[in-house]
């Protein structure tokens, strides 16, 4: 059997971070269920016959952090389930679908206008966190308005306004303009800065939950919800009915919504 794949390590820096293109991760995998269309409302088609084997290449692009931490382990399982299809996983800083020759793209955050078809994989809640040392020195904010007096670490991605934070609870909705003390285009760098006591960071739950569990970070304003950063799988409309793409959609939806 061919080797399942290999991953090239991505480099990171602690200040202005400039990413280089990461080498592809290759997998071999085979048949899986289909969908009737690539829209959000698509329903699964019957599974292919046993003699229908998926072959060829499927190219998937994803952001660095999510690709390494969440997607690569899932694709390792997917590869073992489907041994006759070659999968390329291309990790990038911001994998805009119209800029890459990909069959599918993982996009985190709000979607801009695109000819691609989006499938929501998960809503992806975000947590505001800081280190115990930072909170001991600067105090723990108990209301959103107090955030303007704290050092905030922001992550620049998808050309979004990362200094505008939206919060809500059962009674009200608030919008705050944050002045970043530290700014990076790398989520891992921002999280590490927070772990080192440099400020508060707003980060996806999947990225900070382990740090919160082991005490490196503390969740702040836990009774408030910040805008989520939905995770979508984007496919070009002309390729939306591909059995290879639909098999990947089915697998990722089941795994990420479990």
SS3 at position 116: strand
Q: In this predicted structure, what is the pLDDT of residue 16? A: 34
Give the pairing of strands 85-92 and 25-29. antiparallel
Question: Do 25-123+230-256 and 126-226 agree at the fold level?
Answer: yes
Residues 6+ apart with CB under 8 A from 168: 174, 224, 225
Domain boundaries, the chain: 25-123+230-256, 126-226
pLDDT tens, residue by residue, 192-233: 999 999 999 999 999 999 999 999 999 999 999 998 889 999
Tokens in use for 252?
């990722």
Q: What are 6-15's contacts with CB under 8 Å, separation 24+?
A: 7/68, 7/72, 10/64, 10/68, 10/91, 12/186, 12/188, 12/189, 13/186, 13/189, 14/189, 14/192, 14/193, 15/184
* Nearest alpha carbon to residue 194 among 115, 134, 235, 252: 134
Bin 215: left if φ > 0, else alpha if -120 < ψ < 50, else beta.
left
Task: Name the most confidently modeled range: 4-18, 20-34, 131-145, 229-243.
Answer: 131-145
On the question of pLDDT at 62 being above 90, the answer is yes
* Per-residue model confidence as pLDDT tens digits over 65-93: 999 999 999 999 988 888 888 989 999 87
CATH number of the 25-123+230-256 domain: 3.40.190.10
pLDDT band at 246 (very low <50, low <70, confident <90, very high): confident
Q: What angle do CA 168, 172, 174 make, to 5 degrees?
A: 60
Question: 145 by DSSP, 3-state: which?
Answer: helix
Task: Report how far residue 250's alpha carbon sits from residue 199's, in angstroms, rounded to the nearest whole number.
Answer: 39
Determine what percent of the chain falls in helix, strand and coil, rounding each to the nearest 5. Answer: 25, 30, 45
Tell me the CATH number for domain 126-226. 3.40.190.290
Q: What is the largest CA-CA distance in the chain?
A: 65
């Amino acid at each position: 059997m061919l080797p399942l794949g290999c991953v090239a390590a991505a480099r990171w820096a602690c200040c202005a971070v400039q990413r280089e293109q990461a080498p592809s991760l290759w997998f071999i995998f085979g048949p899986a269920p289909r969908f009737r269309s690539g829209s959000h409302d698509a329903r699964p088609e019957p599974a292919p016959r046993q003699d229908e084997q998926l072959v060829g290449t499927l190219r998937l692009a994803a952001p660095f952090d999510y690709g390494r931490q969440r997607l690569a382990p899932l694709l390792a399982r997917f590869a073992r389930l489907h041994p006759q299809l070659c999968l390329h996983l291309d990790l990038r800083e911001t994998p805009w679908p119209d800029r890459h020759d990909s069959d599918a793209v993982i996009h985190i955050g709000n979607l801009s206008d695109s000819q691609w078809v989006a499938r929501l994989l998960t809503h992806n809640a975000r947590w505001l966190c800081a280190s115990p040392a930072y909170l001991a020195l600067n105090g723990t904010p108990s209301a959103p308005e107090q955030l303007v007096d704290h050092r905030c670490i922001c992550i620049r991605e998808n050309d979004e306004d990362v200094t505008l934070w939206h919060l809500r609870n059962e009674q009200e909705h608030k919008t705050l303009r944050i002045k970043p003390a530290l700014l990076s285009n790398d989520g891992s760098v921002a999280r590490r800065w927070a772990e080192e006591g440099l400020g508060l960071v707003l980060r996806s739950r999947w990225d900070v939950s382990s740090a919160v569990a082991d005490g490196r970070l503390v969740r702040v304003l836990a009774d408030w919800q910040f805008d989520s950063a939905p995770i979508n799988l984007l496919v070009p409309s002309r390729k939306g009915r591909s059995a290879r793409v639909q098999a990947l959609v089915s697998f990722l939806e089941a795994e990420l919504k479990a």
